[in-house]
Each structure stands twice: as structure tokens, then as C-alpha cells.
Amino acid sequence: MNIEKTEEKRRFHRTLYNAEAILISANVSRPCKIVDLSLKGCLLEFAEPSIIPKGVLNTLNITLGDDVSIIMDISAVHDKGNHIGFICQHIDIDSITNLRRLVELNLGNSEMLERELIALNDFNHSRSF
């Protein structure tokens, strides 16, 4: 598949963000690394292959700095080795504000961010729960 075609289909810019995070699943905390992060979800890397059931709600806690964090409820959608892709199911207003700012800084263009927010709204309205 042509990489250019894949990029054209992508509705959400992925922010490459190498940071430590904690995934809480069934009262078990697992340290992980953020490989990439978007308004729609994230790709996490674990030290060892992990089995995270698809569709089960987990909580991701990303610490950005003193008193600044992103906390989101996510569920696994795909996995490959030590990498697991998650979709965001819920995020509070403080966390979405921090994530929005992080994406905006990475994009360097608030107009592109607005397009992504509209796409996210359309995406969330089209999903069936």
C-alpha cells in the first residue's frame, strides 16, 4: 500500500510523543510508553507483550508535567507484539484541553486542529455504542 494514500485517508494527526504512562486495567497498573497520541486514541508500547481484551474499558494516565496530565478511558482495538492500539471512549474537559494543546503545538497550525476537532465530533456521532 502506498504511504501517501494512507496519509490521505487519515482523519486524525498522530502526535509522536515518547512519554511514560500508566494503563489501569481491572485494578492492575501497567507502565507503558506512548508511541503516538491523537484526539481519537493512542498507540502504547509495553515492556512485554500484554494481553488486553478488546472492547474492555481501561484508564490511561499520562503525566505531562507538574500538575498537568491527560486521563482518558480507552479500549483496545488492535495489537502487534508489544504495541497495542486504543480508541478513546471518554476524556474529561481538563484532559481534552491538555491533549488539544499538545496536538496544537505539534501541528503548529490551529486551523488543522479545528478540522481534526470537527472530524472527531463527526466520528463520535457516527459510532454506535
Using a pLDDT cut of 70, give the percent of the chain over it.
67
- The model's confidence at residue 49, banded by pLDDT at 50, 70 and 90, is confident
Q: Which residue has the cell 485494578?
A: 27
In-domain check, residue 73: yes
In-domain check, residue 4: no
In-domain check, residue 8: no
Neighbours of 129 (CB within 10 A): 4
Q: Which residue has the higher pLDDT, 80 or 116?
A: 80
Look at the chain and report how many structural domains it folds into.
1
In-domain check, residue 7: no
Q: What is the mean pLDDT of residues 2-27?
A: 59
Kindly report the CATH number assigned to the domain that includes residue 116.
2.40.10.220
In-domain check, residue 92: yes
At 98 the pLDDT is 87
Domain that holds residue 88: 15-126
Give the chain's mean pLDDT.
76
Q: What is the rounded CA–CA span in Å between residue 93 and residue 95? A: 5
- The model's confidence at residue 33, banded by pLDDT at 50, 70 and 90, is very high
Choose the most confident range, by mean pLDDT, from 8-12, 56-60, 100-104, 113-117: 56-60
